[in-house]
A and B are shown apart, each in its own frame.
Chain A
Amino acid sequence: MSQLISAENFAKVAQFGDLFKEGLVITLLLSLLTVLFGFILAMVLAVMRLSNVCPFRFLGLTRDGHLREQGFLVALSRFNPVSFLATAYVEVFRATPMIVQLWIVYYGLFDKSVIDLPRVTIFGFIQLERFLPGVVALAMNSGAYLCEILRSGIQSIDGGQTEAARSLGLNQRQNMRFIVLPQAIKNTLPAIANEFVTIIKESSITYTVGVKDIMSAVNATKGSLYIVMEPLIVATVMYFCLTFPTSKIIAYFERRMSRGDKR
């Protein structure tokens, strides 16, 4: 009986070195794109959730144009379909497993009959028709989580900031862009960094739809060599090398951005 972990086996895994290298690049690209699109989605969702679009507002006004005080019409006048949509999205994506979302996106949304992606291979090893659904699913999922992070960050900004901005004549958009969002993003950087690290780890699930990431290299090695611990250890080291520096880099930017907080 062979030992659980042996140097000999590591040597065998080395034959699959290229698979692991490509897997590393794919995991990295997957996470970067997810972070980018997830963050954009989250900003849109957060602004939607905190928006003030009330199409039935006029129902809450009395004949002479002042606010009604109570009743069904007041509730209806406060209904915000934009915020409702964003809230529903966030709740659904946070209440269902990642793998279900990934499979629905891959087998449902990117089915040939719905969105037919060309069979393109980028850099010789990234299969677009598997990679892109992976990015989309991960970004849709992390967008929901990042939205909640951003939203709590936005709400934690002192209301006096908005009042000062509006009293200077800035409109709601400018207030968001110049005053609220920069402070909210800064305050939530640690939480956002955590989410980025989570994405790198969660992206490993995309091997189930055939994305050739690090985890997929483990799977391939296991399948042909019947060894599992050694490739897993290689994968562990690789994931750690991705996540650890990421949190350090973000911590550095956090320190730089907090200049305004220090004496």
Chain B
Amino acid sequence: METRDSLIQVTDLKKYYNKGTIKALDGITVDINRGDVMVVIGPSGSGKSTFLRSLNLLEEPTGGSIIFDGVDITKKKTMGPDGKMVKVDIDKHRQKMGMVFQHFNLFPHMTIMDNMTLAPIQVKHMDKAAAEEKALALLDRVGLKDRAGAYPIQLSGGQKQRIAIVRALMMEPEVMLFDEPTSALDPEMVGEVLEVMKELAQEGMTMVVVTHEMGFAREVGNRVLFMADGQLLEQGTPEEIFGRPQNPRLQDFLSKVL
């Protein structure tokens, strides 16, 4: 396994539900390197969302470890630089991982501007004027500068998801996690969201993307993971996964989606 510039090391990650009868994640081991655009594919219910949500501890894993920036975030405590045990501050780590959800999850009671500046102001204690300036610059990048004062309900699905992406970028994360970001969109809006993600990838952002957009996986991804039944059955470059799939489950899956 490549360890150069490794950002997140996931080892034997497990997540069980219902007293162990449902194994949503059944021992996932994978390294995420800086600059990776890792695309996760697999049938519905295979544990893709659970994997992504475990990475920033929205789900508490049943077993295994996730080492992010050198700290095992699945543990409550870690060895500090002075050799003492210190509490793992999960809020600190979550700031460094942006997350984009299938259903956008914009805050409906706030304007777009407030959606974007809330976390930088409250969490990073950024100056309000500076946060707003930064928000406008990001909005400009995704072509939505004129909607800063609008409420989420006033936007189309594609616009909402672009806002959700730049809202996460406001915190300057080291990695962006996308959970089926285009699955809730009308077909004509999928492109505008994928375009933003592609630009982000080209700028070198580390990304983990769960998606059914095989075109995106092929074109933008540098690694593809195939999951089924909570297990990582195959991984490789897009050429390997789409061109020479080995696992019969993957072959079957690809024959259905391509």
Contacts and interface: CB of A to CB of B under 8 A. Distances in A.
B88 to A, nearest CB: 11
Interface in B164-197: 164, 167-168, 171
A50 B162 CA distance: 33
Interface in A51-101: 65-67, 69-70
Contact of B105 (A70, A161, A169, A183): A161
A182 B109 contact: yes
Mostly helix, strand, loop or mixed at chain A's interface? helix
Contact of B171 (A168, A261, A262, A263): A168
A238 to B, nearest CB: 37
A186 B109 CA distance: 9
A65 B77 CA distance: 9
A62 to B, nearest CB: 9
A170 interface: yes
A183 B105 CA distance: 13
B99 interface: yes
A167 B94 contact: yes
Interface string B74-109: 111000000000000001101101110101011111
B19 A163 contact: no
Interface in A227-263: 257, 259-263
Interface string A168-196: 11110010001100110010000000000
Given A174-B122, A182-B109, A166 B19 contact: no
A70 B19 contact: yes
B168 to A, nearest CB: 7
Contacts of A186: 109
Contact of A69 (B16, B56, B107, B109): B16
A178 B118 contact: yes
A164 interface: yes
A223 interface: no
Contacts of B35: none
Contact of B63 (A66, A160, A163, A174): A66
Interface residues of B, number: 41
Contacts of B74: 65-66
A163 B168 CA distance: 12
B152 interface: yes
Contacts of A261: 108, 153
B94 A179 contact: no
B58 A163 contact: yes
Contacts of B92: 169
Interface in A150-170: 158, 160-161, 163-170
A217 to B, nearest CB: 43
Nearest to B164: A164
Contact of B107 (A67, A164, A169, A262): A164
A-B CB proximity, top 7 nearest? A169-B95, A164-B105, A168-B119, A167-B99, A160-B105, A260-B151, A169-B123
Interface of B: 16, 19-20, 53, 56, 58, 60-63, 74-76, 91-92, 94-95, 97-99, 101, 103, 105-110, 118-119, 122-124, 151-154, 164, 167-168, 171
13 contacts: A66-B63, A158-B105, A164-B164, A168-B94, A168-B123, A169-B91, A169-B95, A170-B119, A178-B118, A183-B108, A257-B109, A260-B109, A262-B153
